[in-house]
Amino acid sequence: MNPTTSIPPSPASPVEADFVRSALPPRKSDGHKGDFGKVLIIGGSVGYTGAPYLTARAAVCSGCGLVYLGVPESIWAVEAVKCVSAMPFPLSGSEGGALSWKALPVIFERLAGCDVLALGPGLSRDEGAAALAREVLRRTEKPVVLDADGINALEGHIDILDQRRGRVTILTPHEGEFARIGGDLTPGRVQAAVKFAAAHQCFLVLKGHRTVTASPEGAALVNTTGNSGLAKGGSGDVLTGLTASLLAQGAAPIHAAAGAVWLHGRAADLAAERLTPYCLTPEDVIAYLPEVIKGYWRMDNEGIRQGRIRFHQSGPSGR
């Protein structure tokens, strides 16, 4: 059966607070850092040092136990100063300051000990880095959250995504990136996302006003949080870190993707109430995540701590 024709048009379901509870797995009261997921982030380049940092910080501040950050050696010192709770390490880079093919062995060595890969933040449009991203996508069996120039690397190479059928892949494009990899917005955002996710058997987060999350099976979820303050560089990097973190902690892919979008938007809404959408920054979204998450988390020993709305986890506040 052709997945692009087997899904009848249907209205998408809104993502509300009840859904988000299932995106936050309970915290083991006797757990250690190895119990709460390990995320590897690969990206960064000269001129794009903020993106991988924001992704790493968002992952740490949403409960992930261990966060590793692989960047070109030319920017490693910058990331090492920025990242206090995540663990940056240098990778072979090109003369232009992007990742090079020589980084592949170290990437796979590190990835072997991690649960989820976040690929693309700050990667750049360098063709060598793009080729590296495609090779990692092709070879790894690990779940991947693909963002930014990791998505752009698929332009003209969508077959690489199709080779990942049966493996978890979450793409988080804005409309420009979506079009670049063959997405067609003609039928509207919801049906466009549903058709793409079904055709390529991936989870698609089509960012924008009322972000749409679509599953390979044809489910579509429309987000209900967020404001214009998120329309700034770096917001998507935060979302990538949050999504990878939830996935590594054990959330189902659809819950990790759509739940992260809701939490991301709700944190932005709380921040905007105090700071206004004009002054809101991606760092502020991370800073307000604890205010959102604390209402939905629980430990497995409910006698110790139970969320106000019964269910779910905490991430470290970081502040």
- Per-residue pLDDT of 262-294, as tens digits, reads 999 999 999 999 999 999 999 999 999 999 998
Nearest Cα to 135, choosing from 116, 160, 165? Answer: 160
Q: What is the pLDDT of residue 299?
A: 59
Q: What is the pLDDT of residue 300?
A: 57
- Per-residue pLDDT of 43-53, as tens digits, reads 999 999 999 99
Q: What is the pLDDT of residue 2?
A: 41
Its CATH class, for the domain covering 14-293, is alpha beta
Strands (E), 124-265: 144-146, 169-171, 203-206, 212-214, 220-222
Q: What is the pLDDT of residue 315?
A: 35
Residue in this structure with the two tokens 């209402």, named with its chain if needed: 295
- Per-residue pLDDT of 293-319, as tens digits, reads 988 875 554 433 433 333 233 333 333
Q: 3-state class of 217 per DSSP?
A: coil
Q: What is the pLDDT of residue 26?
A: 84
Q: What is the pLDDT of residue 296?
A: 81
Q: Provide the residue ranges of all domains of the chain, joining segments of one domain with +.
A: 14-293
Percent of the chain with pLDDT over 90: 83
Burial grade of 224 (CB within 10 A; 0-12, 13-18, 19 or more): middle
Give yes or no for a contact between 160 and 138, defined as CB atoms under 8 angstroms apart. yes
